[in-house]
Structure 1
Amino acid sequence: MTVNRRISVAPMMDWTDRHDRYFLRQISRHTLLYTEMVTTGAIIHGGVERHLRYNDAEHPIALQLGGSDPDDLARACEIANGYAYDEINLNCGCPSDRVQNGAFGACLMGTPDIVADCVKAMIGASDAPVTVKNRIGIDDQEDYPSLKRFTETVANAGCKTFIVHARKAWLNGLSPKENREVPPLKYELVYRLKQDFPELEILINGGIKTLDETEQHLEHVDGVMIGREAYQNPYILADVDRRFYGDDVKPLTRHQVVEAMIPYIEQHLTEENATIGHVTRHMLGLFQQMRGAKQWRRYLSENAHRKGAGTEVVREALALVPELDDEALSA
């Protein structure tokens, strides 16, 4: 199956878990969703089911792997084949200390030959297409020449899709949070990459907050990956299917999205040590900029983790938000 990457939601640690992805799927049927980064060690030596399982409704879904050893990455891909992900993505952009200590993530921007070996091994082992997510550079690398060299080297190993976060990663001196905000966005470098490699699929990521911005980027690249905005204001995805996939099926209203989550939460509560907060923490931004949004967030935050809390908490929180017939789609 060909993966349509026109619009996707970025992999985000502690955010894009299986509960969040199921929730986002109620809002958009076509947006490509990514897992949190999962390290090869967690798959090979950890609880495979815990790290790789998902609900079939989440398709299309991509698994993002973290690692720098070709053999380990190939083994992780072989294991992931049993879960039928639509894509396997190699993380070459995360700047966290944990990633740096493991010599993967954004560190790999400095070693394109190693990334090429990793990609080659992954392609040989994976049933799904293999892609790379990277930054425009790290530290004192010259901007475009290094990015072009990295792309060319990895493309020669067989990678045809690159998702480029249009910021450098400063591995020394900036925290992971600062690395998402401080280095300037240089969208023009990603546009130039597409011009120089028209045969490759180039997606852009970083600081994109509206669907109007998304449309503007699509004049220059093949796809747009939305990150924090899709988490903090998830209903931004409600008009994606119509605007970017030609799907005229009317999206669920915000209230209907909540109702659609009730059976899922009830099922989740049958699992050991489950709480409704595992799911509802991802739903706090659903009514962003709507009347009752603050009450919704507060009620869920204060009551989701109380002992014995069930879906009645979600319904009580929903009753605090007026239901509008003309719920505006986020632009």
Structure 2
Amino acid sequence: MIDKNKKQDLSTAARLSVAPMMDWTDRHCRYLHRLMSRHALLYTEMVTAPALVRGGATHLLDHHHAEHPVALQLGGSDPAELAQAARLGAEAGYDEINLNCGCPSDRVQSGTFGAVLMKDPGLVAECCAAMIEAQPREVTVKCRIGVDDQDPEEVLPEFLSRVAAAGVGRMTIHARKAWLQGLSPKENRDIPPLDYDLALRMTGLFPALHLSLNGGLSTLDQASEWLEAGFDGMMYGRAAYHQPWDVLGQADRVIFGETPPHDSPEAVVHAMLPYIETHLAQGGKLHQITRHMLGLFAGRPGARGWRRVLSEGATRDGAGTDLVLQALEQVTGQAVRA
């Protein structure tokens, strides 16, 4: 049984979330993002149900307690397997289990999941019902407005209706089609035109659903505008990753009406140092963390020097927090102490 208070808390957190992004939103990235916003809902990279259930790759569920609220995104199309994977996610402590119905990559299609599932809303509903039945966490869905030659005006309402009937109360709409043939995953993030108006109309058609908007969002000002227009939440992808301070550093104040945990990206860097030291002491490498920090000073004087020092030095043997402080000098213009 889903805890109603937790469900409400997640709905509030989902007013602003960071999209699941392959090779980007790993646990180090999520820890960094949490230092900038106490409230934004964070998502894992997509983890495939077969990897967890058949492959026993439960290490993919590792996360830090400080990341909460944090959701696990699953990929798959077999209801029984997804149910088992969702159960593993709940046991690992994730606050939400999300089903990927939006990723257009070839390897996702070959597994009959991701955006290709837009063609079979009945199967998605069956998968979601099985996941809901198997464990106590809220199950959500991230989808596109359609794929290939589908008419989004017909497909999206039908998809939302079928999945909602299965018991899903919160969904995120990436307001672009996905072209499964002819476009690369990167092109699918840019070339298909955005249709925010269609996604917004869904908020009127399905007032009981909590609907978040995803796709092409680049500034925090857009969040306030679209929330006022009728969306329940906003999900940021590349902007939150490449300009994390611009989006997440101000999110608690602008979206949640609270004081942010840190008042500058410099303070965030210092707050990361103990985490980095722990990671290095456990045998980890500096670049595994600092690759997610390159955009912290985007648009500020010294940002290029910050990126250069980290990019050139973090992969070297023995690189540690001294290098991070050296990179920070490129921004502050003076020697920095831990």
TM range (shorter): over 0.9
CA offset digits 1:226-280 (Å, max 9, x no partner) = 01000000002111101111113563311110011111011111224x2100000
**Which residue does the alignment assign to 2:222?**
213
Q: For 1:284, give the aligned amino acid.
A: L
Q: For 1:293, give the aligned amino acid.
A: A
CA distance in 2 between counterparts of 1:212 and 1:264 reads 31
The answer to whether the Cα contact below 8 Å between 2:72 and 2:98 also exists between their aligned partners in 1 is yes
The answer to whether the Cα contact below 8 Å between 1:255 and 1:323 also exists between their aligned partners in 2 is no
Alignment of 1:263-278 (within 5 A): 263-272=274-283, 274-278=284-288
CA distance in 2 between counterparts of 1:212 and 1:98 reads 35
Q: For 1:154, give the aligned amino acid.
A: V
Match of 1:99 among 80, 105, 108: 108
CA distance in 2 between counterparts of 1:114 and 1:45 reads 21
**Which residue does the alignment assign to 1:174?**
183
CA distance in 2 between counterparts of 1:149 and 1:306 reads 53
CA distance in 2 between counterparts of 1:64 and 1:138 reads 20
1:156 aligns with 2:165: yes
CA offset digits 1:214-236 (Å, max 9, x no partner) = 11111221000001000000002
TM-score (ref. length: structure 1): 0.95
1:200 aligns with 2:209: yes
Change (3 A) 1:321 1:175: same
| 3-state secondary structure, aligned to 1:51 | helix
Task: Say how many residue pairs are matched.
Answer: 323
1:281 aligns with 2:291: yes
The answer to whether the Cα contact below 8 Å between 2:31 and 2:64 also exists between their aligned partners in 1 is yes
Q: For 1:66, give the aligned amino acid.
A: G
| 3-state secondary structure, aligned to 2:175 | strand
CA offset digits 1:135-188 (Å, max 9, x no partner) = 000000012111001111111111111100000000010000000000000001
CA distance in 2 between counterparts of 1:298 and 1:65 reads 35
Change (3 A) 1:323 1:22: farther
* Runs of 5+ unmatched residues, structure 1: 325-331
Deviation of the 1:85 alpha carbon = 0.9
Q: For 1:269, give the aligned amino acid.
A: L
The answer to whether the Cα contact below 8 Å between 1:92 and 1:109 also exists between their aligned partners in 2 is yes
**Which residue does the alignment assign to 2:3?**
none
Deviation of the 1:80 alpha carbon = 1.3
1:7 aligns with 2:13: no
* Runs of 5+ unmatched residues, structure 2: 1-5
TM-score (ref. length: structure 2): 0.93
Deviation of the 1:90 alpha carbon = 0.1
CA offset digits 1:19-41 (Å, max 9, x no partner) = 00000111111110000000001
Match of 2:304 among 286, 289, 294: 294
**Which residue does the alignment assign to 2:254?**
243
Point out the more displaced range, 160-169 or 78-87.
78-87
Deviation of the 1:323 alpha carbon = 7.0
